Structure 1
Amino acid sequence: MNRVITFGTFDVFHVGHINILERARELGDYLIVGVSSDELNFSKKKRYPIYNQKDRVKIISSLKCVDEVFVEESLELKLEYIKKYNVKLLVMGDDWQGKFDWVKSDCDVLYLPRTPSISTTEIIEVVKASF
């Protein structure tokens, strides 16, 4: 079985999230998604997600293109997750280009182009500005 893994916060879920998850799933037989914990998101972005990790895991788990979901606790554990889930391919958005090449000894890495003109951060900023 060709297992693929990807990671993300998946906060304020939008079409860009769907696009990368569907493209990742097309690259293998089984898609595993690591959803960033609330604490990991805070350490990366200095803010907590709008939706808590339990709700974000439920959203991602409900998608037909996703086979398995877990909570990602640390960016440094990528290689451990890859080994644990026995994946052959790590897929990330191209905003992470080159940042996970260090796992190439254990699996292939592919950076997919992001959906143009949409990001969770931009959506949050637009909503905040309208109040």
Structure 2
Amino acid sequence: MKKVITFGTFDVFHVGHINILERARAMGDYLIVGVSSDELNFSKKNRYPIYNEADRVKIISAMRFVDEVFIEESLDLKLEYINKHNATILVMGDDWKGRFDWVKPACEVLYLPRTPSISTTEIIEIVKSI
């Protein structure tokens, strides 16, 4: 069985999130999603998510093509998460291209193109300006 793992914040859920999760699931038989903790998101973006981690886990868990969800506490633990979940493929958005090549001895690493013209950051900025 090909197990695919991916990671994200998935805040202000939008069609770009659906697209990458659907494409990740198409790469294998089982999709595992690590949802960034509130603290990890703050360390990456210097802001907390709009939706808390419990709500974001609930949203991702409700997707029919997602088989398993967990909280990602640290970017440095990618290899540990891959091994713990027996993942054979890591899928990330191409905005992370090359950043996780160091896990290639453990699994295949694929960087998928993001959905053009949509991002959580842009959505938040638009809403703030209204």
Tell me the TM-score normalized by structure 1.
Answer: 0.99
- Count of residue pairs the alignment pairs up: 130
SS at match of 1:4: strand
Question: What CA distance in whole angstroms lies between the structure 2 residues aligned with 1:116 and 1:98?
Answer: 20
Question: What CA distance in whole angstroms lies between the structure 2 residues aligned with 1:19 and 1:96?
Answer: 16
Runs of 4+ aligned residues of structure 1 deviating over 4 Å after TM superposition are: none
CA deviations on 1:82-123 (whole Å, 9 max, x unpaired) are 000001000000000000000001000000000000000000
Unaligned runs of 5+ in 2: none
Question: What letter corresponds to residue 46 of structure 2 in structure 1?
Answer: K
1:107-126, aligned counterparts within 5 Å?
107-126=107-126
Q: Alignment identity in percent?
A: 80
Tell me the TM-score normalized by structure 2.
Answer: 1.00
1:1-131, aligned counterparts within 5 Å?
1-130=1-130
Question: What CA distance in whole angstroms lies between the structure 2 residues aligned with 1:90 and 1:129?
Answer: 36
Question: What letter corresponds to residue 69 of structure 1 in structure 2?
Answer: V
Question: What CA distance in whole angstroms lies between the structure 2 residues aligned with 1:42 and 1:31?
Answer: 25
Question: What CA distance in whole angstroms lies between the structure 1 residues aligned with 2:120 and 2:82?
Answer: 26
Unaligned runs of 5+ in 1: none
Question: What CA distance in whole angstroms lies between the structure 2 residues aligned with 1:112 and 1:32?
Answer: 16
